[in-house]
Chain A
Amino acid sequence: MSENQPPVTIIEAGQSVRHYWRDLWRYRELLFFLCWRDILVRYKQTVLGIAWSILKPFLTMVVFTLIFSRLAKLPAGNVPYPVMVFAALLPWQFIATAFTEAGMSLTGNANLISKVYFPRMIIPASTILVSLVDLLLASIVLLGLMFWYDFLPDWRLAALPLFMLLAAASALAAGLWVAALNVRFRDVANVIPFVIQFSLFASPVGFRSEVVPEHLRILFSLNPLVGVIDGFRWALLRGSAPLYWPALLYSVLLVSVLLLAGIRYFRITEKRFADII
């Protein structure tokens, strides 16, 4: 593309925007700016500021440890219970907040959508990025715990980025769906908290997957989060939670299908967002 031949944009009814991915790339800075805005805004006028990002998961971990290990006396194997819980809390919290925030993101940015053009996918994507930053900050707590209990990860840690990718993909897949649906049906916003609550009990966060009886294991693994969370535990806890391959493969497959379909649905509906939001 030379200087005197600027790009031509064609706008037609029913045509999906050409060069969508090129546009997405052109607006990549906006992605970071929106992410930056959300992080900045969250801690304005707070005394503790960014420390909340570490404090919140830490407090959740304390509650979980008290309830599941002390009161319910669930076994943790040879792993210190707080470490075991926290290794699962990281991905679960990430997916839960990313999913919630992404779901509300389009309606929360309605003024942008009705007044400026940019690929709308940037909005839910930026909320995923925000949650990713939270995840990284919360990892500091895990690191502290591991030093405290002298339980450091081994070579399996190298696989963690892959599981992070899987977690991010599942958050984005679910997020795109609920975000787009919520533009048309605000009912979705009311459903999200229940899904989150339910998924906490249906996922191996406060307990180990091995606790689930063998004949129910397949049923249990229908929840795609099981594969993600067990993967995190396997990578972080020296493999003390063995990988359950059927669950993991199923997770990868389901997330890929949901993500591709989600992108498709999002792109079909996004052209009308400004009309119905």
Chain B
Amino acid sequence: MDPVISVENLSKQYVIGHRQGEQGGSLRELISAGAGRFARRLFNPLAHRSSERTTELFHALHGVSFQVAQGERIGIIGRNGAGKSTLLKLLSRITEPSGGRIAIRGRVSSLLEVGTGFHPELTGRENIYLNGAILGMSRAEIRRKFDAIVDFAEIDRFLDTPVKRYSSGMYVRLAFAVAAHLEPEILIVDEVLAVGDAQFQKKCFGKMEEIGQEGRTVLFVSHNMTAIRSLCSRALLLHQGALVLDDDVATAIDGYLGGSCEQVHRLEWSEGAAAPQNSSALLRRIAACDRNGVLLETITTDTELQIEIVFAVKSAGASIGLTLIVHDTDNSCVFSSINNSEPNWYGAPMPVGTYRSVCIIPGRLLNNRRYTVTVNLFGKSFTDLVTVREALRLEVLDGVAVRRDYFGEYGGYLRPDLEWSTARV
């Protein structure tokens, strides 16, 4: 059978850099940039052209080829910036490719965002019609499905209230409800399960499964491996704009979880090299290990982490203090910890020798995001600071222990597994 989607050697480039002659910038900037070049050439006619700031190309996607058969449900996975959204935008014709070719057989609906085109001033009823039309439904089609949409969204009492007065939950429910009633031959979905409360998410998830079982072709982007695993049969793994793996869903997810790029799980200083040090001690090694001291390959939200700090005391009798600071990638401090709970050596004079300190970050605490770990070492009576900024870079992947039956996103820097209880009073 012929493929419904056939992608050949697809690529997309964006121009980045300061001189945005191709891409945008105001007219004045364009003119002044031109004048600046002219002036430079005027005053320095021998300067080589290449000394000018050239435009830089960013390859959001390159050389991607794959085929999709009728009724397949395909997950698209990869880290942030891997090109997933770009691929969806090209497939849904929002932007044009820089190279390559896509052939699509059938009607495509893409859902890159929930509630695109919702107008806050309009009522729920009006927005159903508007959003439906924007997503490509005809008026007759919307009228036919209207009751089902209202039912699904559970907002019938607020149908004639402007959506600006809706709670965010209601808003999202209504938006998803409209989208869920699309009946395209090919459905392209970007991370929309990450909305609403747990109960509604379950409902959305059920709807997605239903769509898949109806024999529609579905392309589904998500960071949520649980959702990908249960919805899709096959997955494409993108990395830095290239398709690195096109396989059944289990293999592709393993590839995603295993591929530890740009992560630093260990930092070591060899003997005699310029290790970070003060007059009392020098650092030998900082590493993220498991309970047995084995370097961790993959970290999920379930993993218990041992941050290992190995240092050598140079001058006898020094008392060494250690602190650990965990930052988010946006550089906000998530938490920090001091070794003053350490029972054996804290505050005590240490003989010359090599020591191994371990700080345990329990499982079910971190969220699935990237963190950096900064280590401070203090010498004599907590002065004489040595800092190793961003010694470790950890990417914590999504685990299942805390999430249980929830499929959505967890907000915040941490995802602690807190205890809940309910009793009838």
Task: Please give the residue numbers on chain A whose beta carbons come within 8 Å of chain B beta carbons, in ascending order.
Answer: 6-14, 17, 27, 29-30, 33, 36-37, 40-41, 44-45, 111-118, 184-187, 271-272, 274-276
Contacts and interface: CB of A to CB of B under 8 A. Distances in A.
Interface in B253-307: none
B169 to A, nearest CB: 21
A39 B325 CA distance: 55
Contact of B104 (A8, A14, A116): A8
B139 interface: yes
B119 interface: yes
Interface string B117-144: 1010110001001100111101100000
Nearest to A185: B27
Contact of A276 (B23, B110, B113): B23
B95 A6 contact: no
Contact of A115 (B26, B94, B126): B94
B130 A33 contact: yes
18 contacts: A6-B106, A8-B105, A9-B103, A9-B104, A10-B102, A11-B103, A11-B104, A13-B97, A13-B100, A27-B136, A29-B138, A36-B130, A111-B116, A112-B116, A115-B113, A116-B92, A187-B27, A271-B95
Contacts of A12: 97, 100-102
B121 A45 contact: yes
Contacts of A186: 26
A275 B121 CA distance: 28
Interface in B167-199: 185
A227 B119 CA distance: 39
Nearest to B8: A12
Contact of B105 (A6, A27, A113): A6
Interface string B188-222: 00000000000000000000000000000000000
B97 A275 contact: no
Given A12-B100, A30-B134, 16 more contacts: A6-B105, A6-B106, A9-B93, A9-B102, A27-B136, A33-B133, A37-B130, A40-B126, A115-B94, A115-B112, A116-B116, A116-B135, A184-B24, A187-B27, A274-B95, A276-B24
A224 to B, nearest CB: 24
A111 B23 contact: no
Contacts of A116: 92, 94, 110, 112, 116-117, 134-135
A28 to B, nearest CB: 10
Nearest to A37: B130
Nearest to A30: B133
B117 A11 contact: no
A272 B97 CA distance: 10
B173 to A, nearest CB: 19
B233 interface: no
Interface of B: 14, 23-24, 26-28, 30, 89-108, 110, 112-113, 116-117, 119, 121-122, 126, 129-130, 133-136, 138-139, 162, 185
Q: Closest 9 interchain pairs by CB?
A: A33-B133, A11-B102, A117-B93, A271-B96, A6-B106, A274-B95, A115-B116, A187-B27, A44-B121
Contacts of A274: 89, 94-95
B94 A114 contact: yes
Query: Of A116, A118, A275, A276, which is in contact with the most chain B CB atoms at under 10 Å from its CB?
Result: A116
Contact of B97 (A7, A9, A11, A27): A11
Nearest to B96: A271
Contacts of B135: 116
A185 to B, nearest CB: 5
B123 to A, nearest CB: 9
Q: Which of B93, B116, B130 has the most CB of A within 10 A?
A: B93
Nearest to B23: A276
B96 A11 contact: yes
Contacts of A40: 121-122, 126
B134 A33 contact: yes
A10 B103 contact: yes
Nearest to A184: B24
B119 A275 contact: no
A93 B34 CA distance: 39
Nearest to A31: B133
Given A184-B24, A275-B14, A13 B122 contact: no
